[in-house]
Structure 1
């Protein structure tokens, strides 16, 4: 590092110390402007590095906090699978990347106040223990929020799906930070943070409301089926439930008010599928998981199904264009599901399936169009307000639409 670079860092840090109120105000304003913006990112101007530094710095700080309070901030099902050493190494790498990028941008004069914030997040994470926070024994049955699930899924989804969307775009030129991404990120965060409450509610309703339907001899027979055919059957049972639940959301006006939140996204990408009303998330999980519980699929099969549905739910909303060939008539693809989100006339109340596209052809609800992609997305009339809170309140204030 040159003497001039060191002088720049000292000057920037010195200004922050001498004028803390001014620096804080400007940093808050710049951060607010960044979070409110949308559009294409360009290389060579420091913005991409600044965003990566801010995101990694914030996620590392959240991760350190989760290390301190694992019984309340981590998901029991996930922490049983963790390699703590691997997580520590990953956090150390992320801290180094965030710290290095923020310092480099400060030296180069790119978005200095924002990078000062990113560097402060890194320093805060390190001061709280960083990757060395000790994790002792703790109770396993405490109430929790899924902070770890939010961090891991956000990192995994962005790394995988943004790369795929850029390499194989369905709609070329659509930016990563398209309009209303902020609203969908809030849906993503809340639905992940509430994972504990949602799972607790779903499990309670299923086990106490539908336990009488269980026939153990039948369940034992199902579990004797081989893993692959049992998994395919599990997906079919889940998708049949999903199909009719989804169709009810569209055809019953009261239910549509909740489901319209999901359909209000005007752009389709990996994050758009997160836009859902919390009550719809709970209701759909109950109605889809109950048949799986009653039929009695093995735990390994249900776990595999959960992984598949999580991946496919993101993929089907993603801005990904892949030539699927004849498979498009068998399984749900992004092309197929994008039509479901369209407000074009021929797309209304069509393509309900979540996994097996042939269900829509079987029940006569598949889209019939002479082009590959729809013209526009969203609800007809564009009446849905923007913003997470407004969308959660919408079903209780609005008259049925569409």
Structure 2
């Protein structure tokens, strides 16, 4: 009882600070992510959820909340641009891991896409700012909403926009006609097109038609690189074609979601039930919902042996080449639908995987902050600016112990998270995680 009261008190204290009109960070080293630099030992003023100034010590009322950074590092909040989070507890996991912006990439429940999204984005419920994508296919095989004709596709774009969706996600078996109708209507309605390779169309024609984001790097295996030989279906593509793939993406100004951690996690469990058991025994698995635990345990990946090791290695090489060529990469995965990916923790897995592929810390952290902000600015009319610490940008901020450009792992243990101008200190974040673990504890 005492613990519950303490948790409630901490959360109440957080809300009081969070709803203040002005909050001041003092003595912080700012990593603004507008370019590779640090602004040392300075002051940042947040007003009404927006960064008002950096380095200006304004005279403020005595009761203004002050967060003394004591030389810690202030960094933009992280963005998870591909997940399937649909619960408030999973939103808590994201927030406690420093994620302040998310994109649900399909199959959000009506209540999440409507009530929860509105409540979180309006500041009534703690969590990252939510964008949603409505997923369509022309085959019911994967359980997605089915449209088969151009007229049906145009109609669903209008309905999705009316219901607050920012994106249309195209799936693998969408018909060519439906894709054409969807892309045309999405352009007219100002709603972005994202998603998979559509087998009947192919990535080259999809990007030419206005698709702004490829949802997984692995989609290039199916929609750009030539089919592997019949006697070796899991062969890696020819590395000589990487430059051609990069040129295609850059020609259309498209964004690509790096999913190295996701693909590696899937590859590791094919035909190996013991790997899934290890995923379920990992410390972060205590935060999984019972339904996700059951789904992981029954995953079909472990029932068929497939060796994807060469493709895993190729994808890492491909991502590094894209980063070095200036392709706008954004971070994401598939949590919690893929065994091994827990919301929030999976994003840090992706950061580690990109670093392991030789992508520089600046490039990786740009993919988790600045570039998602550019993606949303380009594809969602009127969206608030985020991903950079600068006046006029949303106050989505992490306070961490070390310089993330030198030690990215510091992002795993934030000293505090500000989401939409609402401050949550480390004790509050810890209490939030404990609450989720307690509610989801296995009987």
Q: Same fold (TM over 0.5)?
A: no
Q: TM-score, normalised by structure 1?
A: 0.28
Q: TM-score, normalised by structure 2?
A: 0.26
Please state which structure has a larger fraction of its residues in helix.
Answer: 1
Please state which structure has a larger fraction of its residues in strand.
Answer: 2
More relative contact order, 1 or 2 (CA 8 Å, 6+ apart): 2
